[in-house]
Amino acid sequence: MAVQAQKIAGLSAFIICKNEEDRILLAINSLRELVEEIVVVDSGSTDKTVEVAQRLGAKVFYNEWRGYGLQKRFAEECCSNDWLLNLDADEELTSELAKEIRGLFLEGPKNDIYKIHILDVYPHEDQPKPWAYGYWQFRLYNRSFGRFSESSVHDTVQPLPNAKIARLSGKMNHRSFRSLNFWSDKFNRYSSMQVADMVTKNRKLPHFRLVIEFPIAFLKSYILRRGFLYGWWGLVIAHNYAFGRFLRIAKYYEHELLKRS
């Protein structure tokens, strides 16, 4: 008879969400046997997100949406422990990463903040391709040495100067793509938030970026991020990424025109 591994005492995981009933199941299930506490902060779901999270044993809190960074700050405050593991509702720990984190805490963490490699997975895939685009983020950390920023757009942990930082080798899967329709809505919403953030911070964007933003972003996605290895799907990915980047510049220019008028 298999012996169930104990949950890691002193480690809380948290997830912010809204209308994620189709994806949050994978996220919470990848944590249930690993962490002592799972905190979910919902900002007003109208589907069964809250019901699913509670059924899986998560502690669910409500907080009105004020932006990514502030929402994660609120979630940090809801956690009982100093050691925190952050997932988004469209992410999941791989079994390799869960095993690595368990081993880390069995020995006792020797660092304060750990970066995790997060890989894109598309709806027609079970696992990320070997060439899948990935990015590194601070997701496992002791909040005495770093907290999420208060930015409405950028949600990243800001380490204190004395924090010891390391990387984990295990991966996290990222299922951000539901459909092309969902992706378009997300780019539209997020680009508006980016422009509002730039205006608040009085950032300026040169007009020539209206010309270069789309082709440069397309090449970045298709060549540098190896989108061409996906075949025809890689063209779809690259065009959508480039349009999302261009939309931000276009909306900023529109803001300037309206301001002048």
Q: What are phi and psi of 160, to 5 degrees?
A: -75, 155
Whether residues 46 and 167 share a domain: the answer is yes
The residue with greater pLDDT, 151 or 146, is 146
Domain boundary among 119, 152, 174: 174
pTM over 0.85: yes
Whether residues 146 and 253 share a domain: the answer is no
Name the percent of the chain lying above pLDDT 90. 85
Please indicate, yes or no, if residue 14 is contained in any of the structural domains: yes
pLDDT value of position 27: 97
Domain boundary among 127, 156, 174: 174
Please indicate, yes or no, if residue 1 is contained in any of the structural domains: no
The whole-angstrom separation of Cα 83 and Cα 255 is: 42
Whether residues 14 and 117 share a domain: the answer is yes
Residue 160 has pLDDT above 90, yes or no: yes
Whether residues 60 and 154 share a domain: the answer is yes
Tens-place pLDDT, residues 9-53: 999 999 999 999 999 999 999 999 999 999 999 999 999 999 999
Tell me how many domains the chain contains. Answer: 2
Question: With bands split at pLDDT 50, 70 and 90, how would you rate the model's confidence at 190?
Answer: confident
Whether residues 201 and 149 share a domain: the answer is no
Calculate the average pLDDT of the chain.
Answer: 94
Q: Look-up: residue for tokens 């190896």?
A: 226
Nearby residues of 69 by Cβ (< 8 Å), 6 or more positions away: 148, 149, 150, 151, 152, 153, 154, 155, 156
> In this structure, what CATH number is given to the domain that contains residue 92?
3.90.550.10
Whether residues 109 and 238 share a domain: the answer is no
User: Please, what's the b/e burial string for 128-160 (b: 16 or more CB within 10 A of its CB; e: otherwise)?
Assistant: beeebbbeeebbbbbbebbbbbebbbebebebe
Residue 210 has pLDDT above 80, yes or no: yes
Tens-place pLDDT, residues 84-111: 999 999 999 999 999 999 999 999 999 9
pLDDT value of position 2: 46
Nearby residues of 43 by Cβ (< 8 Å), 6 or more positions away: 16, 17, 18, 62, 63, 64, 65, 71
Please indicate, yes or no, if residue 64 is contained in any of the structural domains: yes
The whole-angstrom separation of Cα 254 and Cα 241 is: 20
Q: Look-up: residue for tokens 């905190």?
A: 39
Whether residues 78 and 98 share a domain: the answer is yes
Q: Which domain holds residue 124?
A: 8-174
Domain boundary among 150, 174, 198: 174
Whether residues 249 and 154 share a domain: the answer is no
